[in-house]
Structure 1
Amino acid sequence: SISNIKWNFSLSRCVLNNITLTNMKSSISFIATILICCAMCETPPSIVLCPSVVSRDEWNANAATETNFLELPVKIVIICHTVTPECTTLQACMRRVKSIQNYHQKEKHWGDIAYNFLIGNDGRVYEGIGWDKVGRHTKQFNEVSIGIAFIGNFSAKLPSKAALDAAKNLLQCGCAEGHLDANYTLFGARDVSNTESPGANLNQEIQNWPHWMTMEQGQIIIPRK
């Protein structure tokens, strides 16, 4: 059976967003639903499977002490790493995300965790400040970008395949739901800032992803306050 799966159907002449298929008892019911959706448009849909996101409530986030909002859809995505120990289970990753938030709030004196989303080596996405809020992940780019951080240090290794796939699915979902511009530009933090993040190996990996560019290719002008 198919249960609690969230799909986005992005169509050329119509858009059916945030369709949730719950408690489908058979593959026949599932296929019938897809065919009905397809019949509503002249061309077949592209289907985006949005990853499950572990919410702030689930990892017991502290309340934010400061909140600023991004202008949507966001046109820049920046990939980072946390330079902390990795995590490979739900419970370990939730503890790690909470620890990162505590460090950012209590030691850095920031209003919240720095990242919009975090990716665990368990293959799950963890909500940071979400799609619409300004983070503290990349100096001079925070007000115009989404920061996605892989939990761990990826200078000498790559995140798990499950983690990489989760990040890619999150980006596709962000476009389908209108949080990201369809033509967004993807950078590693080191491409736009004086940092090693997201680590040499991960930075090499994301150069194979759609939307990655150098600053010169993207014709990006560093934002100024």
Structure 2
Amino acid sequence: MTAEAAAAALDVARFDARQNSRHEDLAGDERGPAELGEWERIAQLLADAPSGTVYDPDTDDVVRAELAADAAAAAREAELREAMRIAARADELQALRELGALDQAEPREGDEAVREEPTRRAGGYIQDDVDAWLARALATRLGHYRGPAAREAAAGLLTPPVLAHAALLAELLRLVPGADVDQLAFAARLATTEPEATAALAAHLTHARPQAH
């Protein structure tokens, strides 16, 4: 936008402001004065600049600061919504635990972040049953873990013991189809104490599995 175009836009904004001031229902609208003030600022900016300068909002420090503030506010709002979601889901999981029904629940997208909330509430004590529930769900492809993308994403969201538990459990269930998961509780103990060794054992069982031809 050139200085001439900005001056013309300022004239229009001033005219609109005068018109609005004559209408009681529009006199209190803050958008008009704000728009007028912005055009006054831009027109003055171009008036003070060398002749021929073209206004570019991408290089306007005021606009850039406003956009940065808006982005920061949006990020804070998103963080608040996520915190509220995590708290609500943690309450739901806690209720299922108290009913003894956690193992029957299907995990949802975002539950990887929720697993830390019960631990935080317990003062840092790791909630083994929640970790075991997630590992079982990942191993048996329950809930949103049916999707390969979710299983792949879990590798970067869950802790090594949970991932090792899930990997070993999946291989044991392949070796003994129809086995009761409760009979394989030792997999969780192995993963908790020796996650690297457990992951290595799971990988060995995977490679040792007969390949289909």
Pick the TM interval, shorter chain: under 0.3
Q: Going by fraction, where is helix more abundant, 1 or 2?
A: 2
TM-score by length of 1: 0.26
Q: Going by fraction, where is strand more abundant, 1 or 2?
A: 1
TM-score by length of 2: 0.27
Larger Rg: 2
